[in-house]
């Protein structure tokens, strides 16, 4: 009786063990961890000394700002510069840093967990997020991530602080704080700024725009790419597929985006028209770099042309590199699908890139991530249309900006009802964690099939 009673597990204990196992699953613990950070951040922002005025409407601004900061998006419903106190600014910066480092670190950890729990075939999913990592000691990997982030942020902060002090801020302490805040916000692709017009007041200042652009692009490349480039892998022959896709894709999107932006807005009085030639080039550079991942504003998108908004929508949705601070469906996802379509048009059974074949499982994963992204944006756009009176172009721009965790806006975020704010928060949370968790879920739930089912060929197209 004693042995049986010790070994017996009733329904309650089994249910509890299943619940504990579910919560320990990495695909579930990551969203829960981020949700916990968001709730803590929102609670801190609700404190009276986090706000400059005793406004009774503080619940939604605090929650929305916390979600936007942790998800490194940058969408805001209140003016960051004037609504929050210095303590509130510190909280926001801490949430940005935790969100940025947590995303990179957790992406790495998930890849490590996936590689240890599945076979060689299942490792393809992890390789899309951290393809170039040397999967050794986890602590060493994460420490290297932190060291890279700190180095880039400090270097950017040094340049910005000196510029702020010499030109814009007479107080060296204020200049130093603004330099650090915008450097961390830039590398983490958050887009938060301590100025009411974001960066529009610095649109023609290369000592502000260029360092921030460099930090944004660096964070958007992704940790695997940065670690390889800093490790001396500069010869093209040493580049693997992930590195080539990310670097070439980034350069291509920046060049195409710059060309379109400059061509459309160069002479428009509302945007680049009044600036000098150098200012126009800087404005076009910022208008290309920031919407892809960061969310800073060097121009007013509320008066940008519809053509510019459409090009920006595409850049935002594609996003940046995997396992970094950028959002979107990721460059590798977009290019794998593009090569798959091109090879299908040419009648090739295998999808090849740079004399390497791409596994069908990677192609399916890319298709899944892209279609889920389209579904999320379409659903969010429909809900925003139902809850607001804004036109489709502005609502679609807002939905993509939230899902891709970009943070640029045409100016409607300030005037949205609470129901629309909840939609944007859901899009930000889904967009930031979706590609990581979905990819890991695919890998961890895959099971080898011991038999093949009869094949059918439905008519396509």
Check: CB of residue 190 under 8 Å from CB of residue 100. yes
Task: Report whether pLDDT(270) > 60.
Answer: yes
Residue whose structure tokens are 């892209």: 370
Task: Report whether pLDDT(8) > 60.
Answer: no
The predicted-structure confidence for 44-85, as pLDDT tens digits, reads as follows: 999 999 998 766 678 999 999 999 999 999 999 999 999 999
Spell out the residues 6+ positions from residue 31 whose beta carbon is closer than 8 angstroms to its own: 429, 433, 437
pLDDT at res. 125: 35
Which of 107-121, 176-190, 288-302, 322-336 is predicted least confidently? 107-121
List the structure tokens of 129: 């997020």
CB atoms within 10 A of CB 231: 12
- What is the four-CA torsion angle of 117, 118, 119, 122, rounded to 10 degrees? -140
pLDDT at res. 54: 66
Confidence of residue 291 (pLDDT cuts 50, 70, 90): confident
pLDDT at res. 2: 44
**316 phi, psi to nearest 5 deg:** -65, -45
Q: Reduce the DSSP state of residue 351 to 3 states and report it.
A: strand
List the structure tokens of 185: 């916000």
Return the axis-axis angle of helices 360-387 and 392-403, rounded to nearest 10°: 130
342/448: higher pLDDT: 342
For residues 104 and 145, give the distance between their C-alpha atoms in angstroms, rounded to a whole number.
8
pLDDT at res. 246: 93
Residue whose structure tokens are 């840093």: 97
Which of 2-16, 27-41, 283-297 is predicted least confidently? 2-16
**325 phi, psi to nearest 5 deg:** -100, 0
The predicted-structure confidence for 392-421, as pLDDT tens digits, reads as follows: 999 999 999 999 999 999 999 999 999 999
The predicted-structure confidence for 337-351, as pLDDT tens digits, reads as follows: 999 999 989 888 888
pLDDT at res. 410: 92
Task: Report whether pLDDT(333) > 50.
Answer: yes
Quick one: average pLDDT of 133-152? 72
Which of 63-72, 108-117, 331-340 is predicted least confidently? 108-117
Quick one: average pLDDT of 93-105? 82
pLDDT at res. 32: 80
pLDDT at res. 295: 85
386/437: higher pLDDT: 386
pLDDT at res. 23: 47
Q: Cα angle at 413 between 71 and 65, to 5 degrees?
A: 35
- Helix then strand then coil, in percent of the chain rounded to 5, is 70, 0, 30
Which of 56-60, 176-180, 272-276, 343-347 is predicted least confidently? 56-60
Confidence of residue 225 (pLDDT cuts 50, 70, 90): confident
List the structure tokens of 267: 């002479």
Quick one: average pLDDT of 324-353? 90
Element (DSSP H or E) covering residue 191: none
Spell out the residues 6+ positions from residue 175 whose beta carbon is closer than 8 angstroms to its own: 161, 162, 164, 165, 168, 169
Confidence of residue 129 (pLDDT cuts 50, 70, 90): very low
Spell out the residues 6+ positions from residue 383 whose beta carbon is closer than 8 angstroms to its own: 420, 423
Q: Cα angle at 98 between 91 and 55, to 5 degrees?
A: 25
**DSSP secondary structure code for residue 84 in this structure:** B
pLDDT at res. 192: 95
């Amino acid at each position: 009786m004693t042995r049986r009673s010790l070994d017996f597990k009733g329904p309650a204990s089994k249910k509890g063990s299943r619940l504990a196992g579910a919560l320990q699953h990495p695909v579930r613990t990551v969203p829960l961890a981020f949700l916990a950070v968001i709730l803590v951040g929102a609670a801190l922002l609700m404190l009276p000394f986090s706000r400059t005025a005793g406004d009774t409407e503080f619940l939604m601004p605090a929650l929305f700002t916390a979600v936007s900061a942790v998800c490194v998006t940058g969408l805001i419903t209140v003016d960051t510069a004037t609504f929050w106190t210095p303590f509130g600014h510190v909280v926001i910066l801490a949430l940005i840093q935790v969100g940025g480092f947590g995303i990179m670190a957790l992406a790495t950890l998930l890849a490590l967990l996936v590689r240890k729990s599945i076979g060689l075939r299942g490792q393809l999913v992890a390789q899309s997020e951290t393809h170039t990592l040397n999967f050794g000691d986890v602590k060493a990997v994460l420490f290297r991530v932190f060291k890279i982030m700190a180095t880039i942020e400090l270097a950017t902060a040094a340049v910005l602080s000196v510029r702020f002090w010499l030109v814009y801020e007479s107080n060296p302490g204020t200049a130093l704080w603004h330099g650090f805040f915008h450097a961390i916000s830039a590398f983490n692709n958050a887009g938060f700024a301590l100025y009411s017009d974001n960066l529009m007041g610095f649109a023609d200042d290369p000592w502000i725009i260029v360092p921030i652009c460099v930090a944004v692009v660096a964070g958007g490349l992704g940790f695997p790419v940065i670690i390889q480039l800093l490790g001396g892998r500069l010869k093209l022959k040493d580049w693997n597929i992930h590195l080539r896709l990310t670097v070439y894709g980034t350069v291509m999107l920046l060049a195409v985006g710059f060309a379109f932006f400059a061509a459309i807005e160069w002479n428009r009085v509302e945007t680049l028209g009044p600036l000098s030639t150098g200012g126009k080039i800087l404005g076009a550079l910022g208008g290309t770099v920031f919407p892809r991942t960061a969310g800073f504003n060097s121009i007013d998108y509320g008066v940008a042309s519809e053509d510019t908004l459409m090009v920006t929508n595409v850049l935002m949705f594609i996003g940046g590199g995997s396992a970094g601070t950028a959002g979107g469906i990721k460059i590798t996802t977009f290019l794998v699908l593009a090569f798959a379509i091109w090879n299908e048009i040419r009648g090739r059974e295998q999808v090849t890139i740079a004399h390497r074949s791409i596994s069908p499982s990677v192609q399916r994963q890319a298709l899944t991530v892209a279609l889920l992204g389209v579904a999320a944006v379409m659903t969010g756009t429909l809900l925003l249309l139902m809850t607001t009176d804004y036109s489709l172009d502005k609502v679609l721009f807002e939905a993509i900006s939230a899902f891709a965790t970009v943070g640029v806006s045409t100016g409607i975020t300030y005037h949205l009802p609470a129901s629309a704010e909840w939609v944007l928060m859901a899009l930000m949370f889904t967009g930031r964690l979706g590609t990581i968790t979905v990819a890991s879920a695919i890998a961890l739930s895959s099971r080898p099939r011991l038999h093949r089912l009869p094949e059918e060929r439905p008519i396509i197209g």
